[in-house]
Structure 1
Amino acid sequence: MGKIFIDNGSSVIVLFKSTLDQMKMEGFEFEPISTPLYGFEGHAIPPLGQIVLPLSLGTDPRRVTKMIAFTVVDNPSTYNGILGQPALKDFRVVASTYHHKLKFLVGKGVGVLCGNQKVARRCYERILKEGKKRGREHSHGSLSSVLQL
């Protein structure tokens, strides 16, 4: 999965429905969630529900996999998902926006994920372009916060 927004200010882990559709996952049911999400564009977005999926960070031999509860929303986004505080805590991530990297513990070692500056710039430009079309400013995005997972 690519284009994951790392948001250490978010209290949720989001997977966009379009990403789930692209994964061609069938035969699962969402656990209901009644609390709407705020912050995407300043209005409430009702989640479709929650789904637990495995998420891996890193590459072998420095890979770690955990079962993560994703909140699924049907909302357009330039990203496939958003990793918020709960996932960053579960993976024990240290993020450096300056270095465009995430570091995390893997056994007795350290795994590293490097951001992709070109992908980040394209996402950011698309957010700005779509915001202008809708007559709104962009609500989330950072050149240094998009990673290819």
Structure 2
Amino acid sequence: MGRIDNPIIGFTEENAQHLHHPHDDALVVSIQIGDYNTHRVLVDNGSSADIQYYPAFQQMRIGRERLILTNAPLIGFGGTKVYPLGSVTLLVTASNYPQQITKNVTFLVVDCSFAYNAILGRPTFNSWKAVTSTYHLMIKFPTGYGVGRYEEIK
């Protein structure tokens, strides 16, 4: 049995009860970024960066002067390069009190069109010690109050 400060994180069939199987859906959530409830955030274990798309950045009314310049390109599918406008660190909150997590996340801000407002990748999930399940369309992570969970938002 896991201790409260080191809980065992697992998934059960009950966690997937509300889903229609089989599915190959992406895990897409709404999450609080800064002071804004941000919809259409893709959970992507394959991404080595946390990304925010510029239109969402603009809607948050964060001054462009808060961007820290970076010149390292992102290499996408097929080898295409995208140069970020910069990076910005914002507070991100997932789940509900008391089993929630709130941490700073550094996003690379990119100016290109995409179906999502942001991508949460491995840097965030590793810092949260989070476990994701695409089968269950759920994220689970340890908190001081047991295991928190965040589900896909329909």
The TM-score, its normalising length taken from structure 2, stands at: 0.71
Residue of structure 2 in register with 1:124 after alignment = none
- Which ranges in structure 2 are unaligned for 5 or more consecutive residues? 1-37
Report 1:35-74 matches (<5 A). 35-39=72-76, 42-74=79-111
Larger-Rg structure: 2
Question: Deviation above 3 Å: which 4+ runs of structure 1?
Answer: none
Residue of structure 1 in register with 2:56 after alignment = 19
CA distance in 1, matches of 2:46, 2:84: 19
Q: Could you say if the C-alpha distance between residues 108 and 98 of structure 1 is closer, same or farther in structure 2, counting changes exceeding 3 Å? A: same
Residue of structure 1 in register with 2:40 after alignment = 3
CA distance in 1, matches of 2:118, 2:64: 21
- Which ranges in structure 1 are unaligned for 5 or more consecutive residues? 119-149
The answer to whether the aligner puts 1:88 opposite 2:125 as a matched pair is yes
Report 1:77-116 matches (<5 A). 77-116=114-153
**Letter of the aligned partner of 2:117 in structure 1?**
N
Residue of structure 1 in register with 2:113 after alignment = 76
1:106 deviates by 1.2
> How many residues of Structure 1 are paired with residues of Structure 2 in the alignment?
117
The TM-score, its normalising length taken from structure 1, stands at: 0.73
**Letter of the aligned partner of 2:75 in structure 1?**
Y
How large is the RMSD of aligned CA atoms in angstroms?
1.5
1:20-67 Cα distance to aligned partner (Å, 9 max, x none): 111122374211111111115641111000101101111112111101
Q: Which has the higher helix share?
A: 1
Q: Which has the higher strand share?
A: 2
